[in-house]
Amino acid sequence: MLQTDSEFTKTRWICTVIGLGFYLVDIVTDVGLAVKYFLVGDLVWSGLTLVFVVVGSAVTQVFSYSWYRDDMRKPLVNSGRDGLISGMNRRGLIGLHVTQTGIFTRYYDLLKVGYRAVFSEPLGPVECPRDVHLALFGRATDLSMLKLFETFLESVPQLVLQLYIMLGHGHRSILQCICMVGSFINIAWAIVDYRRCLRRSLPQVREMPSGLPTFVYLLYKLLTITTHILSLSLFLVLSLYSTLGMAVVWLAGTVWAHWVRTDFCTSRGLERLYRIIVGVVLMFTFFNVKGQDTSWPMAVYYVLFALVNLAGPLLLVLVRPEVNDAEYFWPVTLLIFGGTVLGLACLLLYYTICHPRGKSLQADEVDGHMGGQERETETSDNTVRMRNFLQL
């Protein structure tokens, strides 16, 4: 019998639907805001708003297709050896991802198979074999990674841009606020979903428990990322040349990912692209790209992180003292200072008290033709990407 934490439950299926809804709202509101900027003649803002949407979507499609292609070559995933994945051959998958619908196909497949597994009437003495649940978690794992790519390539930069437009140019609109709220919710959902899928996919660690640990972890990530976004927005208000400093930080993260020799992708070209994405992620939050003990690098990262957050408001006051009279300056400054302190406190609380430790409980063996070693290999095929990917 499967243990509860090994089952793809109705709650998990519903959460997948909610995640899809957040993803759609985020994309639609961003595109709508870009169109609005265009109609009122703000062509630069329109173009930048749309660029983040296009880049985030394009990168996720590239990795989605690459993973489908890899799955075609795995006999345990494509056991029929008919060259088809999700009912399509390689040419069909290329067309699917060129039209930017690959991630929606993944959602459709997961929801369809998941619905049959958790809502349909049992067909025999065992309601749903363990292998089906493992396959469902494998699909959910891929989706969570793709959502994380999209979050840090689209939602997070979008928040920085819209905050700069709002604070630096005084441009405010209802659609802009909706867009920012949508990006914020998408960030929160993607981070927690990824964290839970990551720990669920690693057999040597316990699954992330619900309740207080998840809440503290969410606060830690949201507060640190949000305050950093606010601080970077103030740097942009100070001077657009701040983008050069951000580029240096991104380059440092990319070089670090290259230096530690990440091994996430099956091809050298995709591995380079992956390391570029790692650099973007490290601009906003700390991730463990090799799954090793990184206590000291993490401590150094958040010390520098706190200094950058404090430097944003201070430099703005020193260089442009007239901002003291701006209605946004003191509320934003208090949010940055208070959020940084509270976020780092939640970080310490999570890793000292709430962080799950120890080995996970393995699911019981079920009778069937597939041996334990073969099932273990199949599980590895479904989750190897997650084990080699960023670990929070």
Q: Are residues 263 and 165 part of one domain?
A: no
Q: Are residues 216 and 135 part of one domain?
A: no
Q: Are residues 332 and 197 part of one domain?
A: no
pLDDT at 388 over 70: no
256 found inside a domain: yes
pLDDT confidence band for 168 (50 / 70 / 90): confident
Q: Are residues 148 and 221 part of one domain?
A: no
Higher pLDDT, 354 or 253: 253
Higher pLDDT, 268 or 325: 268
Q: Are residues 166 and 228 part of one domain?
A: no
Position 42 scores a pLDDT of 92
Q: Are residues 283 and 247 part of one domain?
A: yes
Q: Are residues 319 and 215 part of one domain?
A: yes
219 found inside a domain: yes
Position 28 scores a pLDDT of 92
Q: Are residues 106 and 38 part of one domain?
A: yes
Q: Are residues 177 and 60 part of one domain?
A: yes
Looking at 73-77, 154-158, 336-340, 353-357, which range is the least confident one? 73-77
Position 213 scores a pLDDT of 81
364 found inside a domain: no
372 found inside a domain: no
271 found inside a domain: yes
Among 149, 182, 203, give the residue marking a domain's end.
203
The predicted model scores a pTM of: 0.84
Domain count, the chain: 2
Burial 250-268 (b: 16+ CB within 10 A, else e): beebbebbeebebebbeee
Q: Are residues 93 and 191 part of one domain?
A: yes
Q: Are residues 188 and 229 part of one domain?
A: no
Among 183, 203, 223, give the residue marking a domain's end.
203
363 found inside a domain: no
Where in the sequence is the domain holding 218, given as residue range(s)? 209-357+384-391
Q: Are residues 257 and 187 part of one domain?
A: no
Among 158, 181, 203, give the residue marking a domain's end.
203
Looking at 41-50, 82-91, 106-115, which range is the least confident one? 82-91
pLDDT confidence band for 280 (50 / 70 / 90): very high
Position 272 scores a pLDDT of 92
Mean per-residue pLDDT of the chain: 80
Looking at 135-144, 222-231, 247-256, which range is the least confident one? 135-144
Position 295 scores a pLDDT of 80
49 found inside a domain: yes
8 found inside a domain: yes
